[in-house]
Structures are given as C-alpha cells and as structure tokens.
A and B are shown apart, each in its own frame.
Chain A
C-alpha cells in the first residue's frame, strides 16, 4: 500500500503544474502518429513555399529579359501538374495508410468509458462489469492500456478533444460516436470542448490523468464507493437547500441527475467544468457567483445562503475525497 500512496503524492505535485493542452507534445499512440504527420507535412510545405516564393522573387527582382516561351510551358506542366501529382500521390499514400488504425475501436475487453457532453461540462460514466460509475469532468486512465470512449450528447453538439492523447471526436445528440487510443506517458493532460456549443463553450474543459495501472485501480475503487454520511452541517445545507435536486452524492442522495455527480468532488483537480482549481475558496466562489464565473450556466447561484452555510457547504464538498 505504501508505494501507490507515494506515487499519488508525487502525482499531486505533478498535477499542480498546469497539465498539457498541446497536440505537439503527444502522450498517446494516436496523437503521436498525427504529430509525426504534422512535422513531415509542414516541412515539405515549407520547402514548396520557399521554392514558389523564390521563383516569384526571381521574376520580379532578379531576371532581366523574357524567357523562352517553349521552355516556360514546361514549367507549367512540371510545376503545375507533374510535381503536385507526384507529391499528392505520395501524400495520400503516406497519410491515409494510418487512417484505418486511427479510426479503429479498442480491442474488446478494453476499458470503456461513456462521455456525454452537456452545456457546459462532461458527464463521465466508467462502464465496469456491466455497471456504470458516474463521475464528471475528470477522467483517469491507466498508462499503456487501450481505452474505448463512447461519446454522446445530451443537448447540443460538442467535441471531445484531449490534444495530447488523440484527435477530437464530436458528440452529437441522437448519435453515439467512438474514440479510442492508448495513453503512452503518465501525466496530467487537459481536454476542451472543440465544437462551439453556446455561451460557455470556452469554459467547458476537463482533466485527464494518465497513471500506472495500480494507481488507476486504487482510484477507481475509491470512486466506486459511495460517500459516507457524516451528519455535518455542510451535508445538511446540501440536502435542505435543494442541491440534491440536480446533484447526486452517492450514499447521501441519488435523485439529482441534471448536474454533475459530486460523490467524490473533493478528489477532483478542478471544478465548474474543468475551469477552477479545486479548493475551498473556489467552491465557495462557485456557490456564490455561479453566473458570473460561467455565464448562462444552468445552475443558479446560491447567494441567499448565509456566509456560514456557504463555508460549511464548501468545506463538506471539499471533504468528499
């Protein structure tokens, strides 16, 4: 038990760094393939552009008299037809060869997660042994193991994009799309919604943590267990002020389905759809100024609670590890 906790500690330290958004520092098999394609294509593109511009420069600035007409026509055929034809043939071959692999599903038996896009957060359901474990805005994955994501939407079109791990895939109402990849490096990665989805589009993000298998199992086990009622004031505030109408805290109340599941909200790196670092102050701010932090969000602010109640509620939520 000792080693994982050390790793957890270390991970806690690492995750205080921001986490990568970049498609150019890949940490998944598919992101890797695509990054390589990018470097090759952009280098070739640069060379082509330099040739073209040098030709322009030569024509406008350097050469003196007109060129021979016959020879110049060869340029048109060579530069305009043959050269692009060859390049594009190579490019189609080179870039489409990995396509089947990029769109392939993960082998059966792989870790399966259903992710639904909502305005403006992500509902995450781990599908384990025929059961669903509902979480929100944060996904943990074991390193070097393929994962199959089932993507759905509950309102408008969103797009699931964790640039460091794989390309994006839209979530479309009435349809189920698929995304699978294998994370290859442990670390903390950031995801965003890539399809414009309304006012809060910019404020719809998520955290993805890639960890060793053992750490993952331990984490999943904890996420699976319900919260324990401690009869605290915060818990009472949560129940009596209607929070439970939208939010589920397993073990306390599971009526609320509209908002994110908060069973282990304290364990998450960020809150509010992946935009605020998770601590007591943020939680309080969120309860107090919901609409200011995220305009037009469905959750109303709970300004009317007394300062004391807000503090207790925030404290309790933070404690839901």
Chain B
C-alpha cells in the first residue's frame, strides 16, 4: 500500500470502540439509517399482522377497539414517517456520494444529527404503544377528534415526536440538494447526473415544500391541544378543514416523495440488466420533475367528500388523472430500455418487473379514485386501503427489495442467494396480491376503513379471511428475505466487485476501501463511465484522477459548479464528533418533555440544544484553512475556502430558509383561510392595530440593512465599526420582535377566545422568534470575529447570516402587512 492511500485511509478512519458512534461519514451513517428504517418497517409490519388477525373473522375480540385504533394509527404513522421517507434518505446518504463520485456529502455532521433525531424520535413515538399511550386518531390526525375530542397524550406524542422527525427529514433534504447540485465529479454536467441523482433532487425539493405545511399544521394543532387556542374549534371561529388542507398539501406530495426514489432505483437497476443506456433519459427526468410539480396541485382529491363545490372537484379530478401521463412515460421508458437491450435474468429484475406490474394496478385504481364521482363511493372504504398498498408496496417496497439484492455486493461484498431471492419474490408477490386485491371488493361491498370489527351481515367475512391468509404469506416472504440477509453462509462467500457489470460509478467503490470511498475522484464524461470510458476503473483505482491523497490527513471532497460541474473548491468536511448526538439528545428532550408539559425540563433541554448546536457551528464549520489553495492532483490547484453563493454552507442556508418561509406562508394561508370561511373573522375583534406591527416590520428591515452594512465593513476590515453596527443590528432586530409582541399585547388579545387573536399571536410569535434568532446569529458573528474564526477574507458566517436576515425581513414585512394592514384594508379604511 502506498503512502497516499495510507494517508487517505488515516483521514477517513472509522473510530473504533464506543467512539464508533461518533462517526459522521456517509457510508456509516447511511448504513445505520438504512438498518434503523428497516427495523421500523418490520415493527410496523408486525402491527399490520395484528390488524389482519383482528379482522380475520367478523366480531373478533383479539384486540379491543382502543388497542386496534392505536395499532392502525401506528402502522400508518410508522410506515410513512419512520420507514418510507427515512429509507429513501438512508439509501441516498449511503449511496449518493458514490454515485456522484464524491467522498462524502457536504454536511456529514448534519446527516449524523438527522439520524440521531430520527432514532430518538422514532423510539419515542413507537415506545408509546407499549405504554398504551399511543396516538389513536389515525395517521392523518383529523381534528377535532385529535383536539377537543382527543384527550390523552397520544396525539401530543404524534405531533411533537413527528415534528422532531420532520425537522430531521428537512435536514436530510438540504444535505441531498446541496450534494447533488454541488458535490458531483468534475465533468458530470447536468445532463450526465445519474438518474437516481435527478430523482432524489426532485424529491428533496418536494420535501422542502411539502413538509413545512405539515409543520405549520402541527404547530396549530399542538397549540390547540396544549393551550386551548381554537384553531380547529368551530364554536370559536376555527375550522377542522384547515388541518385537512395543510395535511394533504403535505400528504399528497408525500406519496410521490415515497415512490419517486423507488422508481429511481428501478431506473438505475434496469439499464444494468439490459446492458444499454436508459432510453429517454431526458424524458424520464422531465417526467420526474413534472410529477413532482403536479403532485402539489392534487391534494383536494383526498377531500372530495367534504362538501367542496363541484367546480373544485372537477378541476382537481382532472389534474389528478393527468399524473398518469408522466408516470406512463417513465414506465414505458423502462420497458423500452429492456426491449432494446439484452435482458439479463436476475433476482433484482424479478422484483423490478413484479413491482412495476403491481404498481400499474395501484396507478389504475388511483386514476379511478381521482375521479370524484367514483371517489364518493370508494373514499374511506377498503378500496382505498387496497389501492394505496398497491401503490406503496408495488411502487416502493418491490423496488427497495430489488435494490437490496442489487446493491448487496456493493455494501457487503457478496451477492445474496438467487434461490432464496426467487422464493422471497414469489412469496411476497403472491402474498401481497392475496392480501390486498380482495380489499377493493370488500370496500365496494360497504366495508369502511379503520374499523376494528365488522359484522357477518356485511358479506365481507370470507374476503377478509383471504386477506389475512395472504398477509401471513407476505410475512413469510419477508422472513425468507431476513434469513437471506443474515444466514451465516453469507460470510464465507468470496468477494465480488461489480458482479452485475453495471456501468455507473458507485460500483467503483466496491473494489476499494469502503470508507475512503472512491480511490480518486474521476473526470466523468458519460452517464455510464464504467461502460464507455476506456481504462476507467484502472485509472481510478491507481489514483490517476483528483484527490488521490490526503497530505494533511484531513477529510476532503470536491465542490463543482451546479450546471457544468467545473471544479470550484476542495471542501474540507468535518470528521467524527459526539456533538451531533448531544445536539439531537437535547433537541429530542425539548420535544419529548414538551409532550408531557414538563416546562422546566423542556426549557433546559431547549437551552442545551442551543448551546450544543452553537458549539457545533463554532467548532465544526467555516474552518480557516492553513493555506489559500491546494494541489488536488493532475496539476490543478483549488481554493480551500469559499463564502457567499459559491459556498455549500450558503446554499444550505438558502434552502433551509426556503423551507422555513414555506412554513410561514402556510400559517399566512391559515389566516386567510379563516377569513374566507368566516365572515365574522375580523369584525368583532380589535388589535393588533397598525402601529406596532409596522414598527416591528420597519425595525427588522433596518436590522437587515445594518447586517449587510456590517458585512461590507467586515470585508473592509473595519473591525470596530463592524462590531458597532452588528450590535446595533442585533438590538434593532430584538426591538422588532418586541414591537411585534406589543401589538396583540396592548390590545389584550386573548388567544383562547377566538381564532382571530390566536392566529395573530401565532404569526407575531413566529416572526418574533425569528427576529430573536437573528439577533443571536449577529452576536455569533461578532464572537467569531473576536475569536479569530472569521476575518475580512474568510467571511462565510456573516455571508450566511445576512442571507438569513433577508428571509427574516421578508417574514417581518409579510407579518406586518397581514396582521397590521389587512384588517384595515378588509374594513375599507386603508
């Protein structure tokens, strides 16, 4: 082993012993993530079997109504939030860098933080089931069943536990977006991005806009529960339908967030076994983008029976059916790829084809459900249960199983058994269809969803028994799968690198050391370099490309430009640390203690989280390098430090704030929603007046200006003025927060009295919190400069904070205009 490889290995060394858990590298964290999501999957699967046992015969008393309701709620919740979304993030964290030819994702510690949040939140939510305290309002949590009529702690566990996990999901989305846009191999232009990368980019962007509305809904519902703010209480101006809108604006894209990554796996696997390039690459990409885009305009088809006007039903009905077109394009591109290639028969291909055949049934019943008239009957019946499992199992589980069989050699170094794979496939395929096909019929025969029992009179007894038998066959298939993963014979298998002869670059790492990832970062010229670029494997393994060495023994990867992947920066990524775990523990504590209304503990945890995260930023970000530029091989020198729009950190801030502002706009949507449905929304109430909101808005606007001024002073190295201006800016920002709070305060607006004061309080509260956070960040910048961590040249911190203040200003202006200006406008005085 030569010296360069030795140094590289030393830099990327995985800590041993208990320090193993401080690792942040994508291959390790991705592996934890995948295993944890699969454990949650099997947990939720067992819950599904309990459901099927209960429904095997009419009037069964295996479970009580209360137990059944907890179990079906948890089955849906765990499958959706703790398996379906995390598994795609897990697979992406595990494989994306390899696919892009990077050594790691740009923010390894953020991935680790996300993982720990997911684990803690997941255990918290699942654990509730063992204390008979689990949420039981369904995974959709419709109020008022989950607000005024939902006593107990279950709904709080759902709201706070999942909010915590959603934050982790958004963190992963930020990571993935920046990863795909900025951390590709040189030469991997936008039209050469691996198809998986494209899909995952689309999905991560969808998360960015889909999760915040749910977060906003969670905030409103939890305020309703914890403090009796009447957002969903019709007697005080609230409306339960607002939750449904917010939930499904999230919930519908969610379906595509789950199945697009899996389709992406198919799009990766199918060309390998056809031995040809994917047919219609750009068509597939455009379809994925189109599906993602359309998916935000379909949510009302989950609300066809809430009494909305016919015209609304018609529009959403037509739009929902239109999704069949991009989906059709993708499936036919896959078929075409197989047609023009030489198909190699294999277990992953079986799962891929079986998944497509299954998914098409789900798609077709989906088109049926999109048709409002048919939905009037099928909605909330077992027909929907059948449909959604065809979509999610066909569109997601089959491809994931295909991917496990496909990527096993990359991850463990050996192929799984063909024989067991085939057995597993047939058991899963038959078990699945026997379970879920009869449900379409039982639904139309009148069986509603979410019933803990049914009477024999309903005429669905034999259909249900068949479903139950099928579910155990399906479970047997998964047992075979587990056995295949864990049987001891696997250990004796010889190592095989790229046994499927794939053409994509993640297979480069199979032949090398796992943690180092790729031996040297290649110049990519085609979509399938292993097939098309001569001597590619040899050149990469011999370290003939970029970064074959780690002279300073630091972890490094390359940053390239977004469109044409030209070299931009050699990025130093942080290594192992426990601070992410501590941050996650304290953040988790904040949410968990709040569930039990232990406010002191909540406050202490929250403070702990702030301290940990601050320390993490302080010690682990925007390192000032020892030299300006570094030789990365092939005679290329790259800068080690970038700030502003060229830095990955700036992009992360920008993307995070997009999610943040989306949540805020969802709250504004709430304000106007109440106004449109309730003619008495504004009239009988006074406050928060015009003066205070405007003062707040203007102060925050000034603070933003001051921050930018401070930034330029920093660049000019005028240290003293910089401190002065930033302190002023922090004061102004906090002053803005104060002014916003004063509005409803001086008018003595009581948030429990009516929905109007409640939503005003939420909006000003949101804004004030952001303004205070802005002040904190400005003080942080001062501290960085004092501590020598930020200089005139190395100014990433102030660049990112000034970007934050832009979004803060936007938030403040909108709040001022809505709570201060709109009442006057609506009453004709403005």
Seen from chain A, the residues whose Cβ lies within 8 Å of a Cβ on chain B are 18-24, 30-31, 33-35, 37-38, 41-42, 45, 48-49, 52-53, 55-56, 59-60, 63, 65-69, 72-73, 75-76, 79-81, 83-85, 88, 91-92, 95-96, 98-100, 102-103, 119, 151, 155-157, 159, 161, 163-164, 166-170, 172-175, 177-178, 190, 192-203, 275, 295-296
Contacts and interface: CB of A to CB of B under 8 A. Distances in A.
Given A80-B332, A157-B142, A201-B451, A31 B377 contact: yes
B373 A98 contact: yes
Secondary structure dominating the interface of B: helix
B543 interface: no
B450 interface: yes
6 contacts: A73-B280, A75-B332, A91-B321, A169-B305, A177-B306, A198-B145
**Residue in A102, A103, A296 whose Cβ sees the most chain B Cβ within 10 Å:** A103
A194 B443 CA distance: 11
Nearest to B66: A199
B542 to A, nearest CB: 34
B336 A81 contact: no
A96 B340 contact: no
Interface stretch (B119-127, B234-242, B473-481, B801-809): B234-242
A45 B365 contact: yes
A49 B360 contact: yes
Nearest to B448: A194
A84 B336 contact: no
B64 A295 contact: yes
A76 B149 contact: no
B579 to A, nearest CB: 42
Contact of A79 (B234, B322, B328, B353): B328
Nearest to B309: A103
B314 A159 contact: no
B717 to A, nearest CB: 60
Contacts of B240: 157, 172-174
Interface of B: 64-66, 69, 136-138, 142, 144-145, 149, 234-235, 238-241, 276, 279-280, 283, 305-307, 309-310, 313-314, 317-318, 321-322, 324-325, 328-333, 335-336, 338-343, 345, 349, 353, 356-357, 360-361, 364-365, 367-368, 371-381, 444-455, 457-459
B376 A168 contact: yes
Contact of A91 (B136, B239, B279, B367): B367
Contact of A175 (B241, B448, B451): B241
A317 to B, nearest CB: 22
Nearest to A63: B339
Contact of A102 (B136, B318, B360, B373): B373
Given A96-B318, A173-B234, A295 B65 contact: yes
A60 B341 contact: no
A195 to B, nearest CB: 6
Contacts of A38: 368, 374, 377, 444
Given A95-B373, A100-B310, A173-B240, A88 B142 contact: no
Given A88-B324, A88-B325, A175-B307, A67 B340 contact: yes
B360 A21 contact: no
Given A157-B240, A173-B144, A23 B377 contact: yes
Contact of A200 (B65, B325, B372): B65
Given A22-B446, A41-B371, A66-B341, A55 B335 contact: yes
A80 B234 contact: no
B69 A199 contact: yes
A75 B335 contact: yes
A76 B337 CA distance: 10
A35 B446 CA distance: 13
Contacts of B136: 199
Contact of A83 (B66, B317, B328, B375): B328
A174 B622 CA distance: 53
Given A80-B328, A81-B329, A88-B321, A66 B314 contact: no
Contacts of A161: 380, 446, 448
Contacts of A37: 371, 373-374
B339 A66 contact: yes
A262 to B, nearest CB: 23
Contacts of B380: 159, 161, 168, 194-196
Contact of A56 (B144, B322, B335, B361): B335
A178 B307 CA distance: 7
Given A92-B321, A102-B373, A65 B342 contact: yes
A316 B58 CA distance: 32
B444 A76 contact: no
Nearest to B307: A177
Nearest to B457: A18
Nearest to A98: B373
Contacts of A85: 325
Q: Lowest 3 CB-CB distances: which A-B pairs, in order?
A: A167-B376, A174-B234, A21-B446
B457 to A, nearest CB: 4
Given A48-B364, A99-B313, A197 B145 contact: yes
A14 to B, nearest CB: 14
A92 B317 contact: yes
A69 to B, nearest CB: 5
Contacts of B283: 76, 80
Nearest to B144: A156
Given A73-B279, A85-B325, A202-B454, A99 B234 contact: no
B280 A76 contact: yes
Contacts of B64: 295
B444 A159 contact: no
A68 B137 CA distance: 55
Contacts of B364: 45, 48-49
A72 B339 contact: yes
Nearest to A104: B310
B445 A24 contact: yes
A143 B452 CA distance: 34
B371 A95 contact: yes
A34 B360 contact: no
Contacts of B444: 22-24, 38, 163
A159 B138 CA distance: 15
Contacts of A52: 331, 356-357, 360
Contacts of A56: 335, 353, 356-357
Contact of B310 (A41, A49, A103, A190): A103
Contacts of B455: 275
Contacts of A84: 324-325, 328
B66 A296 contact: yes
B396 to A, nearest CB: 19
B357 A196 contact: no
Nearest to A96: B314
Contacts of B457: 18-19, 21, 190
A263 B456 CA distance: 30
Contacts of B324: 84, 88
B331 A167 contact: no
A34 B149 contact: no
Nearest to B138: A196
Contacts of A65: 342
Contacts of A275: 455
Contacts of B328: 79-81, 83-84
B306 A172 contact: yes
B329 A60 contact: no
Contact of A196 (B279, B335, B368, B449): B449
A166 B376 contact: yes
Given A60-B343, A80-B328, A81-B328, A23 B445 contact: yes
B305 A168 contact: yes
Contacts of B454: 202
A294 B338 CA distance: 56
Given A56-B353, A99-B313, A295-B65, A76 B379 contact: no
A190 B314 contact: no
A42 B368 contact: yes
A195 B241 CA distance: 14
A24 B322 CA distance: 27
A157 B331 CA distance: 39
